[in-house]
Each structure stands twice: as structure tokens, then as C-alpha cells.
Amino acid sequence: MVSWLVIKRASERRRPQRRRRRCLRVRVAGPGPGAVLAGGSFAASRLVWKWSLVAEVFSLNNLFVGLLFALSACVHNAESVAHKRKLAQWGALCCGLGLCNQHTLVVYVLVIVPWALLQLSAPSVLSLWDVLGLGLWFSAGFLPYLYLPVSSYVNMARWSWGDQTTLAGLLTHLLRAEYGTFSLAKSEAGVSMAHMLQAHLNHCVADLSLPVLALAGVALLQASWKRRRCSLVWLIAVMVSLYSVFFAWRANLDIETPLLLGVVERFWLQADAGMCVLAGVGLGWSVSWLQRRLAGGAVWTAGAWLLTAGLLSHMIHSNHRECDQSSNDVVEKFAREVALSFPEDSLVLTRGDLPGNTLRYLHYCQALRPDLSLVDQEVSLSTPLHATPLHTPPRPSMLVYAPPRPTTPVHTRSHTRPTPAT
């Protein structure tokens, strides 16, 4: 949709004012091959497909990135100031909600906010009340955070991110201080920025394909010729570039390790969305340019559809085998076997996403081993004693680490000799 609006906006500026209404009807009549390529190449890419199957923040972050792109295109195309102001209010709300879900969206927000204010001030004078109103809409997006101090005060949650009844505790969670603010780990030593950027480029070539990257380059080339008409294209390009550089700087994990590479590559999704939109714009502009310069307009449109269908078919075929996890139950078997191996009434100290999340899901959602008590070492052990959930028994019969520590003894009530951890 974003690429379709950008292409049509450029064509509208070349047409007389009396034909604007007709152009609007054509614009919303249906998407072209560029719009289908933009959405399809992103949806069928390996990372999007893979992480859409996981209960993580990245799928919802993709939604907010798409909403910001779409609202930006609508603001760019809006004819009246009132319409732009209304769209900007929805955009401010989406910025706040998106930051509640994923902190990396802040790079896009820092770029899109001044651009939106510039769009609002271009046809008229932007008043202070307008800015305050947008600030209120932005602040309203953070209302879900009110649940945290309320839940911490009631102290009935079976698992929490610490004590948020104080401002310091709330800021600790909001800034992810346990893991390091705007970092992937608190003490890991990562690779250089150049190495991280090279890995990101290799991912784009392998997962998005060279034709998609080439079409994105065509969009930038076309935008460089007509800068005033293509501010939205440059907006997306700047957001993607700044985000890629910022993340390469802050991603302090060693991507030479396959496991840590899997952690890092999830954050490349946010930049991939912008690259796919630029590719769709590039394809649409290429077809429009060929139709104007050469004869046989229908031939070029048909060729664009064939190119889009071929690229998407190839991506779906190549990614289906790896991303089809419909019969994969390895993680469930792992968590079930680990949970059933613990002695009765054990207090289990978990560390890491795999043992922690899987055990909690089976324990809380499927009521497996209700006698166990699960405590996350990375978060819960830093929680003050008065904020410890009421569900944790004060005297567990056994203390077990998951994953185990080779040299850590298991302490029981009978004070038997230390034995290897389970």
C-alpha cells in the first residue's frame, strides 16, 4: 500500500488539478505489482516467516512499522491540513504503542517525528497547541505501562519483571537495565560494527534476493532526481540507514556463534520492512518510466507481474522447508522431560529463554507439575523480598538450577551431602 501511494503521488503532481479526484479513485482501485512485491517479499522472507511462528515481540513490531509507513504515506498524500493533523495524531499514538512493545522502534520515531511536524507546518503555521496535542496522543500510547505498577502493588502475578511500585523499579524495567539499555546483553563482547553491517548485508542478499535490493536502489536513484516529490522515499531510506548503523553499533553479541546470530538477526526485520517498501516503489516507478518512454504499456505491466510472481514463488519455495514447523515438537518434549525430572516441591532457578519460557508455559498454562516453583535468575533474584510473588513457597524441599551448574550442589532439607545438579 505504501509503495502504491508513493507512486501515485508522484504521478498526481504532474497532472492538472481538475483531474485529482479521478486520480484518487484510480489510486484506491487496486494495488499494482510494486505494492504486491513490497508486501509479498517481506511476508515470504525467511526471518518474517520464522518469527511469525514465535510468541515474541517482533511480529507486533512489524505491524507497528507497517502502520507508521502507511500513515506517513497518507500524511504525504493528504490534501487538507485538517486531514494531515488527524493522521498525525493516529501516527503519534502508534509511535507510543510501538515503543511499549519494542525499544528499537525509537530510531524510526526520532526520524519520523520531525518529518511529520515539517509536513504539518508546510501549508500553515504549526501552533503550540498542535504540538501539545500530538504529545498527548504520543503519551496515550504508553498507557499499557500503567498495568506494571498496579500488578506489582497487588503482588498476585505468578511471574513478574521485578518491583515496579517505585519509580526506580519502573525505570529499570522500561529501560531494560537487567540486560543493558539498547544492548542485547549486559556483558557480552560482540564483533565490530563493520562486521555486523557486513553480516546484515549478507542477510539481505541471501533472504531478500538481489532483484529486491536492485529495485530498492532504483527507487533511491529515481528519488535523487526528483527530491521534492519523493520526500517519503528519502524518509524511509534515512530510517533504514540510521537503524542499521545504530543496531550494528549496539548489538554486542558474537555473531560467529550460530545461537547468538539467531538472536541478532531478529532485529534485522525492522530494516527489511523498509527495504521491501523501497523495492516496491522502484518496481512501480520502473514500469511507469518504461510505459512513458516506450510503446506497449500493457507489456511492461505484464512483465512486472511476472517478475513479482516469480520472485515470490521462489521465496516461498525456498523458505517453506525451513520455516514449516507444523510437526516440530522438540521444544515441548525438552521442557516436558526437564519438568518431569525435578523432585517434588522443588524451587527451580531458570536462566535463559529456552528453559525459562518453555518451563513457565507448561507449568502455568498447561498446569504441568503444579508443585514446582519457578524463579528467573536474571530478573527475579534482583527483586526485593517484599515484592516476591506470593506463590513462591518459603521452604522448598530442593533447589534446582535449569540449566544446571556443573559445580553447584543441590541443597535439601535433610542436609545430605552435595550431589551433582539435575
Domain ranges of the chain: 2-323, 330-402
Q: Which three cell numbers stand for residue 127?
A: 501552533
Would the pTM count as exceeding 0.85?
Answer: no
Give pLDDT tens digits for 63-87.
999 999 999 999 988 888 889 999 9
Give pLDDT tens digits for 227-280.
656 789 999 999 999 999 999 998 888 898 888 899 899 999 999 999 999 999
Per-residue pLDDT, averaged over 33-46, amounts to 94
Give pLDDT tens digits for 98-157.
999 999 999 999 999 999 998 888 766 678 888 999 999 999 999 999 888 888 888 777
Supply the pLDDT for residue 135.
Answer: 95
Give pLDDT tens digits for 345-402.
888 888 877 788 889 899 989 999 999 888 877 665 555 544 555 455 544 445 565 5
In the chain, the amino acid numbered 338 is V
Look over the chain and give the mean of its residue pLDDT values, rounded to a whole number.
Answer: 81
Residue matched to cell numbers 501511494? 5
> Percentage of the chain with pLDDT > 90?
46
Per-residue pLDDT, averaged over 292-307, amounts to 87
Supply the pLDDT for residue 182.
Answer: 77
Indicate the pLDDT class of residue 163, thresholds 50, 70 and 90. confident
